[in-house]
Each structure stands twice: as structure tokens, then as C-alpha cells.
Amino acid sequence: MNCTGLTGYWPYGSLIFLWDAAMKRGDPRIICALAYLTPLLSTLVLVFGGDKPLTGTSLIAMVLIISGAAIGSLDVFRRK
């Protein structure tokens, strides 16, 4: 039996499980702010893996991603 159509179920299922566990145990504002880092990390994996070069557009996008995550979590760090 060919199981090539099932290859996406394991990563997606584990993603849903881990997201649910994080939302139940952590602060949803921080978790959602950290979710912004996913494109940044995937770009870095491609760059350091040698598949893609790091361009100026990628650097600008990385700065914007980090800025969005920081702005989104400002109220978490201000309050005690």
C-alpha cells in the first residue's frame, strides 16, 4: 500500500496537539507572539541549509516579523 498521501498527517497532528497544550498551559498572548517567528525560523533554515541566499528583502522581512512580535507582546512585559 502506498502511504505517500499520509505524510502530512503526522506533522499536522503533532502541531495541533502541541498548540493545544501550549494554549492550555501558557499565556496565549506570548504564544501567539512567538507564532510570528515561524516564517523567520523557516527562512533561516533555508539560508543556513544552503538552499537559498539571504537577501535584503529577507532581512527587512525578518526585522518586521521581530518588530511585530515585540509590539504584540509589549503589554505582557509591562504588567507585573
Count the Cβ atoms, other than its own, within 10 Å of residue 54.
13
Query: Looking at residue 1, what is its pLDDT?
Result: 47
- Among 79, 75, 70, which residue's Cα sits nearest to residue 33? 70
Distance CA 23, CA 25 (A): 6
**Could you tell me which of 42, 49, 40, 47 has the C-alpha nearest to residue 67?**
40
For residue range 25-59, what is the model confidence (pLDDT) as tens digits?
A: 988 877 887 787 888 888 888 889 888 898 999 89
